[in-house]
Amino acid sequence: MNAKNPSTMPASTERRMPFHKYKPFKPVSLPDRTWPDKVISEAPIWCSVDLRDGNQALIEPMTPNEKMKMWDLLLEIGMKEIEVGFPAASQTDFDFVRQIIEENRIPDDVTIQVLCQAREDLITRTCEAVSGAKRVIFHLYNSTSTLQRKVVFNMDRQQVIKLATDATALVKRYTQPLRDAGTEVVLEYSPESYTATELDFAVEICDAVMKVWGPTVEKKMILNLPSTVEMATPNIYADQLEWFIRHLPERDKAIISLHTHNDRGTGIAATELGLMAGADRVEGTLFGNGERTGNCDLITMAMNMFSQGIDPRLYLSDMPRIVAIAEECTKIPVHVRQPYAGELVFTAFSGSHQDAIRKGMAVVNKEGGAWEVPYLPIDPADVGGSYRETVRVNSQSGKGGIAFVLENFFGVSLPRPLLLEFSPIIQKLSEQRSGELKPDEIWNAFVKEFIEVEGPYKLVDYDIRSVGDNVQACDARITVGDNKIEVSGEGSGPIDAFVAGLVETLNEPLNVVEYQEYALNEGKEAQAICILAITDDAHNKYYGVGISQSTVTAAFKSIIAAINRKWR
């Protein structure tokens, strides 16, 4: 049967997903919203929830050792608020909290946070866990969403408010002995699934909790407004926040905290717009590890600010180390395209991008000033990367990429006609390979093509003598196939003399038409590279390259290489 015969084709190839199963999220009515005109100008209070939300979402939760490694990393990058676990729900978490308190591992400017559900037994156990800490954020939560009230708890609004306020009263009562013993206790209340909660109800329950806890302007409590499951576009989260903040009776006694998840892939966008809408604090994890599609990625959040000239108040300069420890503790690889941290995020394979980066870098290196390099939103060196790794060569790359690699890895800058000759060789090689060519492979191809060129001639050795004013004589031994022959000539310098000898002895018509020589590296082991072109009687041009500790040897080798290329 002929598959292309129209009579055998189906009438339509169109297929439909069951989109009718889903309903659109209702936007917030806030025509006088102000957040779109706001600009993020300073870092929020960061709170890492890696050791709780992140850990809860792992196939293999962190071992005590891994928790400690992650804790140390969070301190190292400058995290000042860290949710260390759900101690009433997990013995490992309980033991970890005890360990960092008893071993005095919490710096004075760092506050631990512990999660707890609105249940008396869990509240007392949590208080036990944090006893002896200098400052603690007691994170109380219950779900307030319309759906969960109906299908999970079977409670009306007033019952849910009572649940939250009773629990707050219990936290107040059971933390009193801690306070008496000198621990500062901050309450954080999360109406879980805030984004799926009626806004007026969210305000009502948060206000009721505040009334029981009794925060002041000086001693605020934290209201954490989670997008537990991301359900709408990020602008809607911002509207929900601006609405909430406008309607909360005692906003000045609350720190408004954001806690987004990434179900629609816009957890970071939602958090950024949430900050524009007036929030003060952000909870999230390194690289966004967390339930389902993850939490808000604090690294990207902070680096986004950094790239706008804002102090992120996190120290992320050794990104490879942060990645390595996060991967080790979570056993989840950081994606090669992970913003600011992935292996490929500062790499250009495309020829036009490589060219633009090269030119942009030249301007930045020469003129300084604010970072402005095409295709590189930040300087990779700021996160422990290297400018050298920005350009990698595959079949999509052009001569710019090859020139970049030779310049930056080997210190060799090629004249443009030579580059034009070399570039198709690399193109062909990478096509054959169907993949990337590493710098060493590019170099080896260069050596094979221009330096150690297969051909009839080989330089054995030579002597140079002065034979008069500005006249030098060269006696060189070369092999031609299996024969060793003497080449002698005179000229104004060694190259002239060698060329004269070659022309005479070998009857090789050749002119040196281009010549450049420079040091490849510095110090005792310094090598010179000579890049030279000869022409024959028909004006064909042949490049040859020589490398040696002696500038004369490098030049002679380059001539031999050029002649061999001619004979190839």
Binding site for ligand KIV (CB under 6 A): 53, 115, 141, 190, 192, 224, 226, 228, 259, 261
Strands 457-468, 541-548: parallel, antiparallel or unpaired by DSSP? unpaired
Residue 190 interacting partner from Zn ion, ligand KIV, none (CB closer than 5 to 8 Å by kind): ligand KIV
Q: 185 to 224, contacts with Zn ion by CB under 5 A?
A: none
- At position 305, the amino acid (one-letter code) is M
Query: What is residue 150's DSSP assignment?
Result: I
Piece of 48-56, 99-107, 135-143, 210-218 that binds Zn ion (CB under 5 A)? 48-56
Phi and psi for 533 in degrees, rounded to 5?
Answer: -130, 140
Q: Residue 145's binding partner, choosing from Zn ion, ligand KIV, none, with beta-carbon cut-off 5 to 8 A by kind?
A: none
Q: How far is the CB of 229 from ligand KIV (least distance, A)?
A: 8
CA-based R_g, the chain, Å:
35
Least distance in Å: CB of 34 to Zn ion?
Answer: 28
Task: Pick the piece of the chain touching Zn ion (CB under 5 A) from 47-55, 211-219, 314-322, 505-513.
Answer: 47-55
CB of 266 to Zn ion, least distance (A): 15
Give strand ranges (E) for 336-482. 457-468, 471-480
b/e per residue 128-156 (b: at least 16 CB within 10 A): ebbbbbebbbbbbbbbbbeebbeeeeebe
Rank residues 232 and 373 by Cβ distance to Zn ion and give the closer one: 232
Q: Which does 204 bind (CB under 5 to 8 A by kind): Zn ion, ligand KIV, none?
A: none
State the minimum distance, in angstroms, from the CB of residue 120 to ligand KIV: 18
Q: Which stretch binds Zn ion (CB under 5 A): 46-54, 422-430, 442-450, 545-553?
A: 46-54
Residue 530 binds which one of Zn ion, ligand KIV, none, with CB within 5 to 8 A depending on kind?
A: none
- Closest distance to ligand KIV from the beta carbon of 22 (Å): 21
CB contact at 8 A, 225 and 174? no
Residue 190 beta carbon to ligand KIV: minimum distance, rounded to whole angstroms: 4
Taking the C-alpha atoms of residue 358 and residue 413, their distance in angstroms, rounded to an integer, is 13
Q: With respect to ligand KIV, which residue has the nearer C-beta, 61 or 374? A: 61
Identity of the residue, 224 or 354, whose beta carbon is nearer to ligand KIV in the bound complex: 224
Please say which residue, 259 or 399, places its beta carbon nearer to Zn ion: 259
Query: Helices in 389-493 by DSSP H: which ranges?
Result: 399-410, 416-433, 439-446
Are 545 and 531 in contact by the 8 Å Cβ rule? The answer is yes
Shortest distance, position 83 Cβ to ligand KIV, whole Å: 9
Backbone angles phi, psi at 348, to 5 degrees: -115, 125
Give phi and psi for 291, each to the nearest 5. Answer: -50, 140
**Least CB distance from residue 431 to ligand KIV, whole Å?**
48
Nearer to ligand KIV, 114 or 414 (CB): 114
3-class DSSP assignment, residue 348: strand
141 binds, among ligand KIV, Zn ion, none (CB under 5 to 8 A by kind): ligand KIV
For residue 542, the 8-state DSSP code is E
Helix (H) or strand (E) holding 258: strand 254-260
Q: Which does 354 bind (CB under 5 to 8 A by kind): ligand KIV, Zn ion, none?
A: none
- Of the pair 85, 400, the CB lying nearest ligand KIV is at 85
How crowded is residue 125: how many other Cβ atoms within 10 Å of its Cβ? 16
**Which listed residue (50, 53, 230, 242) binds Zn ion by CB under 5 A?**
53
Q: Which of 46, 64, 47 is nearest to 55 (CA)?
A: 64
Residue closer to ligand KIV by CB (options 190, 427) is 190
Position 50 contacts Zn ion (CB under 5 A): no
Measured at CB, which residue is nearest to Zn ion? 53
By beta-carbon proximity to ligand KIV, the closer residue of 140 and 305 is: 140
Minimum CB separation from ligand KIV for residue 294, in Å?
A: 11
Q: Based on CB atoms, which residue is closest to Zn ion, 50 or 53? A: 53
Residue 557 interaction partner, one of Zn ion, ligand KIV, none, beta carbon < 5-8 Å per kind: none
Q: How far is the CB of 228 from Zn ion (least distance, A)?
A: 6
Q: How many residues does the chain have?
A: 568
Which residue, 139 or 566, has its beta carbon nearer to Zn ion?
139
**CB of 100 vs ligand KIV, minimal distance in Å:** 21
CB of 284 or CB of 351, closer to ligand KIV: 284
Task: State the Cα–Cα distance between residues 244 and 259, nearest whole angstrom.
Answer: 15
Q: Of 138 and 141, which CB lies nearer to ligand KIV in the complex structure?
A: 141
Q: Which does 355 bind (CB under 5 to 8 A by kind): Zn ion, ligand KIV, none?
A: none
Determine the Cα–Cα distance for residues 512 and 374; give it in Å rounded to an integer: 39
CA dist 59 and 330 (Å) reads 9
**Closer to Zn ion by Cβ: residue 53 or 272:** 53
Q: How far apart are CA 256 and CA 495, in angstroms?
A: 77
Number of residues this chain uses to bind Zn ion (CB under 5 A): 1
Q: How far is CA 123 from CA 99, 115, 151, 530, in A?
A: 19, 10, 25, 77
H/E segment holding residue 284: strand 281-284
Smallest distance from the beta carbon of 53 to ligand KIV, in angstroms? 5
Q: Residue 73: which of 272, 278, 285 has the closest Cα?
A: 285
Q: Cα separation of 457 and 477, whole Å?
A: 10
- Minimum CB separation of residue 295 from Zn ion in Å reads 6
Distance CA 508, CA 224 (A): 84
Distance CA 269, CA 274 (A): 8
Q: Which does 439 bind (CB under 5 to 8 A by kind): Zn ion, ligand KIV, none?
A: none
Which residue has 């930040």 as its token pair?
378
Pick from Zn ion, ligand KIV, none: which does 192 bind, CB < 5 to 8 A by kind? ligand KIV
Measure the CA–CA gap between 531 and 79, rounded to whole angstroms.
54
Binding residues vs Zn ion (CB under 5 A): 53
